[in-house]
Structure 1
């Protein structure tokens, strides 16, 4: 049971609340002057007030199964006394009603609730509890002593309301005590009670006609004992606590089953369980996939926009500890399944995620704005697997995407408050699609990476001369008059990459060729054709032809 202790009060958790760092505390421990930092990890907390704190429903259910009835009643009684001392009577009323729902026969809780009703000036309800106490334990004067005297200033009103209530209710309820005997429930001396119990009708009438005198006696008695039955209640609590400790409690392994720690979305054991501000718990990946579509809790539909904006989803530490302690083998299997799934997703040959959008080229930056749910999922998986890579292809009718594309590597990803993201990527290797597939809404492919043919001897020398010629054409385009069309096109970009001495240093050829291809206003299908070529010489011939069409405009 040590797992279920609150880090703040070191008692069994009660109404557990999971804060933004993932640690859980009793709800009442976060009331009043809330801590600015977590007592466990020292992370800064952002609590919006006690009324905003929602209990962790899953932990509440687990505690309900783990705690016996006596432990629950003991905690309810102790917390009720604390609330009464803090004059939080409405919260105390709710708590005592909750306890009486568990144990309708509990005299201590009914006594406390009667005091709370008096403090709230709900006198008929206070007398109802008092009547039940009289009926259940008519021979126990200690519990009746001082009943209903939590607020001294209300004694006189209580007497008047009591007489009125008993007069009306006695017409229909034969077992209700007569008005003068009911006043003996008030705290006063034995002599006062004897006077009230006079056998003559005149004395009864006289006492009923002067409730203020009785109230004055009651009030003075209250001043001597602020909480008359508190010592008795505390004594009984200690006895109950001792009895509970002596009992052999079943272990958590006997009380909980695997179904108690299953995600309601994937119906599997929790993996990295996170708790939303509304108090519901899901696997981290399951919640993220739901919020890809709409920023609402999957269960209660409360808005999670602020939760999404922060973008941090720490695991619920207590739930992690419970699972690792009670279900270690099952948790190990769950983690192993996840690792297998990640290994399959990280295979960048047989299972490449495909982003269908635009042309991408080796070594050329490709900024992206991610807003579709399927691509949000794709980006997260690319980061989680550690590959940080995916394929970019053009759309092609009848095939979903083209036969050739370019791998992109994620350099940076910035999340926007609504879940969208801005991604900085750069082109890497070219590939040819061998087989198409789908996974969780986005396309995948088995690919074959393209490599330029290796040149040797005379063919290499000829290609080098062609390379120098085309690069010279590119420089001429940059040197044209500022008003010319080629000049206006090229000057929108930075200077071209420098000419490379070794044209076969990269398996994709010189980088300036891809830079030129990316800035030229060409049809994407023509760009795709050049991208698919594995002959550097052929690519240079295409570029030479394109540049030659720009240069004559100068003459």
Structure 2
């Protein structure tokens, strides 16, 4: 299938609708009344909710504006033919069959091998009683669109309504094999096989249906029931004029189990023990054999091309040559982003149908969840696994194939922009808010556009890390800080996000500056000095002492405060010594995070690279808290005695 074709109807995308998954379909295919689309036929993503949301917001599913302009400009005749076919389908739905046929005839003059026009003209002719023309057009459609399940279904339905039941079964089975979700074809298959293997089915019933429609004469449609069995139906089809042709697809479309089960049920002796339940069970076995065992057959069918002899037998006009022979009709201005005024890079289509570079539209949506052109709602349900809106695959393929030089130049520009962000690995983005600590959880609520951009870049290019510093009155931020590693992000439709992060490494900032609204700085990481062997025993006693003080203090805090601390930071970690590691024991940072001390003082402790010094500083804090607690207790006691 070429880049210009709809994945559903395999013809030129007419009034294309691009879904959030990045795949495009004709508007008529999406909104088909007979079989409305519920899943993307390329990636199998559920699109029903998206279609309903678009209708409520936009009153309709808006077409991809860029693709419409490109196709209408590059392929005028085919676009006009698709327009005529669409008008004919609308008339067909209104039961104005003769007017519909006129539209389909004009469409086929412009697009000689439009299987959609053949298909719907067959339906119109059948409704008017023109059975020979209907079957001829249905056969042509199944030849031209030998990968389309709808073509086989329509031909099978015509044969079925004409009481050519066994012949119809063949085409219904192909339809089911190509699209296992076709309930209409499965229903017909079930009805036919039920009739053929029924214990009360007789030769007379096979030849003359009790509900026989007004069929054409036997000369026009010679009956083959006396000489055909199921095995021959698997590879023989019919032309309306009685000419036979072999559809050289494969040896069989149905597994050997289905073939054997069919003949067993049809030819086995009938007994009194035969019950409807037994036959229903047998039918379920038959229908279930239409499964993965036919994968090789389907692969052959989907890759096979229509032979020249078959085209001549069907009296088909030759297919048009390749849509684009040269670049004279191409203009890269048709595929420009209206925000950066450059060739589209990773093009993304909004629900309203406008197209932008992925990076451009994401930065716009950081500020407001609206299309920058028409101001209609434009949202993307992001996640950590799907951070960016998928590209419009058709647009990107067209640019890559038909504008190769411009595409290569645009990709080079984009790569240079990314290299500029990542060339200095020691330069880290800085989130200015509060102080963070190694190994301590730090949830963040991000709602400013500049930090939305910073977070996206960190997730893309910076190993999910960024620096965190507290504010400073005389500088952009405090010099001491801690890097945060992102564990998870919950995105909201309005662009806000809650970041689940944890502290990692301590640093001192150097050469801070601004980039796109947020700060970046060169970092010098802080590591604890090595502890000598002769000092470990002494330091062990200090660790034990401070940990006991921390446990005693935590047990003495009021229940509401303890609950708040536990909810935000978790329980007091188990004791560990952490000698000769980069940051020392984790529990010490937890203690520093929950202590009721000014952040400026805590930031100075974060900048210390000596474990013993940090332990003694926190010990002094506990002593001060203990003294303060005693004074408060004595003050309360004296107040009570005086009263």
TM-score bin (small chain): 0.5 to 0.7
Write out per-residue CA displacement over residues 220-259 of structure 1, whole angstroms, 9 at most, x where no aligned residue: xxxxxxxxxxxxxxxxxxxxxx999678965363322333
Q: Aligned match of 1:78 in 54, 66, 85?
A: 85
Q: Is 1:257 paired with 2:331?
A: yes
* Partner SS, residue 253 of structure 1: coil
Cα deviation code 1:65-107 (max 9, x no counterpart): 2113x44443333333332222399xx99xx9xx9xxxxxxxx
Matched, 1:304 2:378: yes
Give, in angstroms, the shift of residue 536 of structure 1: 1.6
- Mapped to 1, the partners of 2:354 and 2:95 lie a distance apart of 27
1:283 corresponds to:
357
**For residues 536 and 12 of structure 1, what CA distance do their matches in structure 2 show?**
70
SS at match of 1:254: coil
CA contact (8 A) 1:478 1:491 kept: no
Q: In 2, Cα distance between the equivalents of 1:247 and 1:485?
A: 78
Note the C-alpha offset of 1:340: 4.6
Match of 2:41 in 1: 39
How many Å apart are 1:457 and its aligned residue? 4.3
1:99-110 equivalent positions in 2, closer than 5 A: none
Going from structure 1 to structure 2, the CA distance change for 1:491 and 1:337 (only over 3 Å counts) comes to closer
CA contact (8 A) 1:368 1:424 kept: yes
Equivalent positions of 1:52-67 (< 5 A) are 52-67=60-75
Instruction: Give 1:417 deviation, angstroms.
Output: 2.4
Residues 374 and 441 of structure 1 are in contact (CA less than 8 Å); yes or no, is this contact kept in structure 2?
yes
Aligned ranges for residues 36-435 of structure 1 at < 5 Å? 36-46=38-48, 47-48=51-52, 52-68=60-76, 70-87=77-94, 250-251=324-325, 253-305=327-379, 313-346=389-422, 349-385=425-461, 387-435=463-511
Partner of 1:23: 23
For the residues of structure 1 that align with 2:575 and 2:601, how far apart are their CA atoms?
24
In the superposition, relative to structure 1, how do residues 426 and 14 fare at CA in structure 2: closer, same or farther (>3 Å)?
same
How far off its partner does 1:323 sit? 1.7
Question: What is the distance in 1 between the residues matched to 2:544 and 2:59?
Answer: 73
Where 2:478 maps in the other structure, the secondary structure is coil
Comparing 13-22 with 527-536, greater Cα deviation is found at 13-22
Counterparts of 1:411-490 in structure 2, within 5 Å, are 411-478=487-554, 480=556
1:502 deviates by: 4.2
- 2:599 aligns with 524
After superposition, the Cα gap between the structure-2 partners of 1:248 and 1:8, relative to the gap in structure 1 and judged at 3 Å, is closer
Distance of aligned partners of 1:282 and 1:467 in 2 relative to their CA distance in 1, 3 Å threshold: same
Answering whether residue 551 of structure 2 is matched by residue 543 of structure 1, we say no
CA contact (8 A) 2:18 2:24 kept: yes
- Structure showing greater Rg: 1
Aligned twin of 1:178? none
**Using a 3 Å threshold, how does the CA distance of structure 1 residues 270 and 356 change in structure 2: closer, same or farther?**
same
Given that residues 17 and 27 in structure 1 are in contact (C-alpha distance below 8 angstroms), is that contact kept between their aligned partners in structure 2?
yes
Is the contact made by 1:464 and 1:503 (CA closer than 8 Å) also made in structure 2?
Answer: no
Aligned residues: 406
Task: Kindly indicate whether the alpha-carbon contact (under 8 Å) linking 1:292 and 1:373 is maintained by their aligned counterparts in 2.
Answer: yes
Give the CA deviation at 1:315. Answer: 1.4
C-alpha separation in 2, matches of 1:77 and 1:362: 67
1:343 touches 1:385 (CA, 8 Å); kept in 2?
Answer: no
Q: C-alpha distance in 1, partners of 2:322/2:38?
A: 39
Instruction: Tell me the equivalent position of 1:11.
Output: 11
2:381–2:493: 8 Å Cα contact kept in structure 1? Answer: no
Unaligned runs of 5+ in 2: 107-315, 634-643
Match of 2:135 in 1: none
Q: Aligned in 2, Cα 1:489/1:423: closer, same or farther, shift over 3 Å?
A: closer
TM-score, normalised to structure 2, is: 0.57
CA 1:246–1:273 in structure 2 vs 1: closer, same or farther (change >3 Å)? Answer: closer
Cα RMSD of the aligned pairs, angstroms, is 3.5
Deviation at 1:10, TM superposition (A): 2.3
Q: TM-score, normalised by structure 1?
A: 0.65
Which segment drifts farther, 352-361 or 244-253?
244-253
Question: Structure 2 CA distance, aligned partners of 1:487 and 1:284?
Answer: 46
Contact 1:466–1:540, Cα closer than 8 Å, also in 2 = yes
Deviates more, 1:366-375 or 1:37-46: 37-46
Deviation at 1:532, TM superposition (A): 0.9
SS in structure 1 at match of 2:370:
coil
Matched residue of 1:469: which SS? helix
Question: For residues 249 and 336 of structure 1, do their structure 2 counterparts lie closer, same or farther at Cα, with a shift above 3 Å needed?
Answer: closer
Q: Does structure 1 residue 534 correspond to structure 2 residue 609?
A: yes
Q: Distance in 2 between matches of 1:38 and 1:489?
A: 46
CA shift, 1:441, in A, is 1.3
CA distance in 1, matches of 2:445, 2:404: 41
User: Which residue pairs with 1:206 in the alignment?
Assistant: none
